[in-house]
A = this chain, B = another copy of it.
Amino acid sequence: MVIVMAPEATQDDVDAIVELVGTAGGEAFVSRGVSRTIIGLVGDIEQFSSLNLGGMRGVADVMRVSTPYKLVSRDNHPERSTVWVGGVPIGPGYMTLIAGPCAVETPEQTLKAARMAKAAGASLLRGGAFKPRTSPYAFQGLGEQGLQILAEVRAETGLPVVTEVVDAHDVELVASYADMLQVGTRNAQNFALLQAVGAAGKPVLLKRGMSSTIEEWLMAAEYIAQRGNLDIVLCERGIRTFEKATRNTLDVSAVPVAQRLSHLPVVIDPSHSGGRRDLVLPLTRAAIAAGADGVIVDVHPNPEQALVDGPQALVEEDVAELARVVREFPPLLGRTLT
């Protein structure tokens, strides 16, 4: 931790900080510059946080120099992790395709979508039974009935199921059906939910908040990890920017950046970031090429009748090209499709 003093700070101000840090069991090193004095702190950073150093007289800025997350940080766990979901790996050396309908609507639609997913090379099935919607008047998902449909389709196709949970108190229910729990972008800082999925004993797909920095995203993962669950897969799904041509802006740089900061696997959702079907295949290719450990894609047998996000779903005629992409690109990066 580094403290930058204001130009008008006095010697007394500096001394007060050195003393305070000392009483907290740390050491303070003072460097006097031409225009500014800086103080480097050595010791337990959590303890310094509680000192409220930023509130001391003469302090212009307090800069953290180490990461605020620990369990998910690569600093303490240099090897990248692999997370297993119903026997399917997500991690280095693999390319995992997760596909399925945005929302579970009927058994037929879900089964057809699962078969499209499988034909495209998917080893995991996505599908939402609980849907967080901006409008209270929009379709909110089938709830437990949707979970049952997913379980039936899993039995039929053999694909383990990834599905979203939106309320801490539904975690147990959803976990009883799902192979992997998804936390959506609107819940990226719903800390009660993060803690609940951390305790549920199932792998978690953690979407980045649409306006979360990468650091905040990793802090959200830390909430889950702190409850004893390190089976977390990070999912970049587009961030909110000024650009209006796409629903969100896919931050493809987040893949190498997050992989460098954290040992957790990182996948990309090219469907929700772009919000447009014609962008899904280009962004899928970009995601794989950037080094993503997997891709999660919406497919729908009949998107013009979809109750949620129809315009972004891949359709039957896209399946062959998606299959080609996930088969041909990963080997160039030393990866194998799971």
Contact = CB atoms under 8 A, between A and B. Distances in A.
A138 B274 CA distance: 31
A132 B189 contact: yes
A283 B290 contact: yes
Interface string A169-188: 10000000000000000110
A109 interface: no
Given A36-B66, A291-B282, A52 B274 contact: no
Interface in A76-112: none
Given A250-B253, A257-B279, A2 B191 contact: no
B245 A242 contact: no
A245 B214 contact: yes
A172 to B, nearest CB: 13
B167 A192 contact: yes
A206 interface: no
Contacts of A75: 7, 35
Interface centre among A278, A286, A332 (most CB of B within 10 A): A286
Query: Is the interface on chain A under 10, 10 to 19, 20 to 34, or 35 or more residues?
Result: 35 or more
Chain copies in complex: 4
Interface stretch (A120-128, A142-150, A151-159, A215-223): A215-223
A106 to B, nearest CB: 15
Contacts of A68: 135, 137
A288 B333 CA distance: 14
B136 A223 contact: yes
B290 A285 contact: yes
A335 interface: no
A273 interface: yes
A237 to B, nearest CB: 12
A1 B257 CA distance: 25
Contacts of A249: 239, 241, 249, 251, 253
Closest 10 CB pairs of A and B: A31-B40, A211-B211, A289-B289, A55-B304, A285-B289, A186-B189, A29-B31, A286-B290, A286-B286, A167-B192
